[in-house]
Amino acid sequence: MAEIKTVGVIGAGQMGAGIAFLAAANGFQVRLHDSAPEALATAQSYVSNSINALVSKGNLSQAAGSDACLLLQCTANLKDLCTADVIIEAIVESEDVKKKLFSQLDKIAKVSAILASNTSSISITRLASATNRPQQVIGMHFMNPPPVMKLVEIIRGAETSDDTFSTTKALAERFGKTVISSQDYPGFIVNRILMPMINEAFYALYTGVATREDIDAGMRLGTRHPMGPLELADFIGLDVCLSIMRVLHTGLGDSRYAPCPLLVQHVDAGRLGRKRGIGVYKYIKEAEKTRPSAKL
Ligand code: CAA
Ligand code: NAD
């Protein structure tokens, strides 16, 4: 099993920032890259604030907190990830964009490096086909928010080696996560089940079954989900939900996975959820970036 010292993360959005925090808080050197400088700046303060919160709660000593903050290096240059032992990609949920990145990474990453994707739904086998190292490509699917959720879903592509699987599993466990393993089918385990439920909630709203508040309260109070499906969709990002539904619809070839027109319309209008301040609900942004914004 390969030794991991440096973790590269690409995409400094809500998932990438959370993964970078997990890696730094657990003592790994971290190189975080994003094509958008403002995303890097936001992620940098999210990681520092989250580490400081661990120190204030007494979960990390002051010295370990200061060390952890120094472990994160944000970079606008993808080539700075050339020292990473594992690179975790968490960019936009688009097969074409991810494949282009995997092809670039294959050229700049260490020969021994594992290339992992945090994709919610896209075929790992196809992402691996964009590289000359398909045996070192794997799905490492964190749940949102990565610092809080206990699960990592690991997906082997058709060519993923046993060594890549065991190194990735051990890394997820070093982050304190429980690992489940899925075959490489659209949406894997969690989103194969979760996303059709969210899509159905949009259909319930679209066809006038109930208000958004009653749909959410029904699932929160009636089935003990921590969030209703519409507020969860806003939390995940409606663009991400729509991309996943499209992968399920195309990949499984069944009309029951067709994205709800209301979900499509929200995305077309730029109402992407909490990250944009508006989705199914409207949100007020809090200055403190470690916490999600409040719902109106
Ligand atoms: N980053 C870091 N920590 C966070 C956080 C974030 N974004 N959001 C909340 N937390 C922490 C808080 O600091 C708090 O920590 P302490 O207990 O140590 O103080 C703790 O989580 C609880 O937070 P809150 O009291 O503010 O709020 P809450 O109890 O309502 O929990 C929640 C917030 C954890 C998000 C909870 O509502 C929840 O579990 N929601 C469902 C999340 C879910 O289902 N995620 C999976 C989505 S599907 C997916 O990720 C896969 C995909 O591909 C789309
Ligand atoms: P996000 O929109 O919050 O962040 C994506 C980031 O990637 C942005 O900062 C963007 O600037 C950057 N980016 C886009 N293309 C890039 C490129 N070519 N090179 C470098 N940076 C690039 O998205 P997110 O919610 O963090 O999702 C990221 C990935 O994680 C997606 O594959 C998504 O399906 C998956 N995921 C999301 C969730 C969730 O709940 N949002 C949960 C699990 C997995």
Assign residue 49 the CATH number of its domain.
3.40.50.720
How many whole angstroms from 221 Cα to the centroid of ligand 2? 30
Q: Report the pLDDT value the prediction gives residue 287, as an integer from 0 to 100.
A: 46
Residue 163 lies in a domain: yes
Residue where the block lists tokens 């439920």: 197
The pLDDT of residue 285 = 73
3-state DSSP of the chain? CCCCCEEEEECCCHHHHHHHHHHHHCCCEEEEECCCHHHHHHHHHHHHHHHHHHHHCCCCCHHHHHHHHHHEEEECCHHHHHHCCEEEECCCCCHHHHHHHHHHHHHHCCCCCEEEECCCCCCHHHHHCCCCCHHHEEEEEECCCCCCCCEEEEEECCCCCHHHHHHHHHHHHHCCCEEEEECCCCCCCHHHHHHHHHHHHHHHHHCCCCCHHHHHHHHHHHHCCCCCHHHHHHHHCHHHHHHHHHHHHHHHCCHHHCCCHHHHHHHHCCCCEHHHCECCCEEECCCCCCCCCEEC
Residue-level pLDDT at 296: 54
Atom of ligand 1 nearest to the CA of 14: 7
91 lines ligand 2 (CB under 6 A): yes
Largest CA distance in the chain: 56
**Residue of minimum CA distance from atom 41 in ligand 2:** 236
- Which residues form the domain of 250? 191-288
For residue 1, tell me if it sits in a domain: no
Q: Do 44 and 174 fall into the same domain?
A: yes
Closest atom of ligand 2 to 240 CA is 34
pLDDT of residue 198: 99
Q: Are residues 250 and 178 in the same domain?
A: no
Q: Are residues 168 and 258 in the same domain?
A: no
Which ligand 1 atom is at minimum distance from the Cα of 195?
A: 54
Pick the last residue of a domain from 139, 164, 182. 182
Which of 182, 203, 221 is the endpoint of a domain? 182
43 Cβ below 6 A of ligand 1: no
pLDDT at position 259, please? 98
| Number of domains, the chain | 2
Tell me how far the alpha carbon of residue 226 lies from the centroid of ligand 1, in angstroms.
9
Q: Which residue numbers are catalytic?
A: 120, 141, 153, 191
- Give the ligand at the shortest distance from the Cα of 291: 1
Of 131, 150, 182, which one is at a domain's C-terminal end?
Answer: 182
Per-residue pLDDT of the chain (296 residues; tens, 9 = 90+): 889 999 999 999 999 999 999 999 999 999 999 999 999 999 999 999 999 999 999 999 999 999 999 999 999 999 999 999 999 999 999 999 999 999 999 999 999 999 999 999 999 999 999 999 999 999 999 999 999 999 999 999 999 999 999 999 999 999 999 999 999 999 999 999 999 999 999 999 999 999 999 999 999 999 999 999 999 999 999 999 999 999 999 999 999 999 999 999 999 999 999 999 999 999 987 644 434 455 55
Verify that 199 and 119 share a domain, yes or no.
Answer: no
Q: Of all protein residues, whose CA lies closest to atom 44 belonging to ligand 2? A: 120
pLDDT of residue 1: 81
pLDDT number for residue 208: 98
